A = this chain, B = another copy of it.
Amino acid sequence: MANLRDVARQAGVSAATVSRWLNGSLNLPEQTRTAIQDAIQALNYRPNPYARSLSRGRTDTLCMVVPDIKVPFFAALAAAVENASFNREVGLQLSVTLNRPGREMRYLESVAARHVDGVIFVTNHAEVAPLAQQIRKARRVVVMDEDIPGAVAPRLFCDNHQGGRLAGAHLTRHGHRQIAAIGVGDDMLSGTRRFEGFRQAVLEAFPDAEIQRESGVYTIEDGRRMTQALLNRGRPFTALFAMSDEMVTGALQVFAERGIRVPQDVSVVGFDDILPLDMFSTPITAVRQPVEALGQKAVELLLDTDWDDPAALAVEHLLPVTLIERSSVAFVSTKNQATDQQENPT
């Protein structure tokens, strides 16, 4: 069977040129591209990563496990990991679990079975007993985004606590002291840390602040449900901290349905900032996740960790977040309380 050198010779270019063009790291004039393509077809050449993998004892393929690729944050994270993998010249295989334990364990098996060199693992459910054990066995696993308690693996998160603080401080600087927060519960790391950072920042500014909290899952539906629960409870709040793009979307839908205006009646701060929040009817202020940096760091950790070093497996890496200010936070007045509105929907 023809190899890369045969193709290069026939096309009249160097083997490096063919290789770099095939893996996409080189742009070529059309004439050269055509010459290479013709040579590939004439010689019936097929790139053979498996041969390379056998010769090096490595597959040069990573696996990334995500709960749901339809969630824009996970899609953006996967794209960032893909990009970083490409720069390090390894392939990426994406696997979606929808949080099913059988699927999660199966993908971890891939490492043990040497189908891939390692796994970047993202889960967002709380019930994880056999998972931690499986990760210990798989060894080359980076735990990302949410924690898996008991797993022996390098961990990589955005600085959730700082994100919560940024949101809380931004709202109190605008005078808000009756604030509601919707997010996930304390059984998940992002839930605990985002809320705790937020709570601290609010209470540092206003020790008598009234904070309400609703917990659920990171979906539009649950964003709706929690916002409705807050409004129906009738305890006034002038601002809402919604801890994901999906929850922001759900909250805004409910506010619109009840004639509650953002930011005149209620201020809103979101989290993630992957959806085009700048295009929304009120452009939404949000804590932005460092998606590109997370992707790059995850691949770095997977490829560069010394897996025989216990200290490396106990490290937690936090990447800083930023607050993107838009138009959804107003200074508080005595009038603007979301619950004032619910009796008089427009």
A345 sits at the interface (CB 8 A): no
A75 sits at the interface (CB 8 A): yes
User: In the complex, which of the residues B76, B103, B129 contacts A41, with contact meaning CB atoms closer than 8 Å?
Assistant: B129
Given A100-B23, A101-B22, A49 contacting B280 (CB threshold 8 A): no
Number of copies: 2
Q: Find out whether the CB atom of B72 lies under 8 angstroms from the CB atom of A91.
A: no
Which residues from chain B contact A100 at a C-beta distance below 8 Å? 22-24
Q: Find out whether the CB atom of A79 lies under 8 angstroms from the CB atom of B72.
A: no
Which residues from chain B contact A92 at a C-beta distance below 8 Å? 95-96
A29 sits at the interface (CB 8 A): no
Which residues from chain B contact A113 at a C-beta distance below 8 Å? 50
User: In the complex, which of the residues B41, B75, B99, B249 contacts A75, with contact meaning CB atoms closer than 8 Å?
Assistant: B75
Write the A48-68 contact mask toward B (1 if CB under 8 angstroms, else 0).
111000000000000000001
- Smallest CB separation, A202 vs chain B (Å): 27
- Chain A binding surface SS class: helix
Given A37-B129, A127-B33, A98 contacting B82 (CB threshold 8 A): yes
A46 sits at the interface (CB 8 A): yes
Listed A/B pairs (27) with beta-carbon separation below 8 Å: A21-B101, A22-B100, A22-B105, A24-B101, A24-B102, A24-B103, A37-B127, A37-B130, A40-B130, A46-B109, A46-B137, A47-B105, A48-B109, A49-B109, A69-B82, A69-B94, A72-B72, A78-B96, A79-B96, A82-B96, A82-B98, A92-B96, A93-B93, A93-B94, A94-B96, A275-B276, A279-B281
List 10 A-B pairs, minimum CB-CB distance, nearest first.
A24-B100, A22-B102, A70-B79, A94-B94, A75-B75, A23-B102, A281-B281, A82-B96, A37-B129, A40-B130
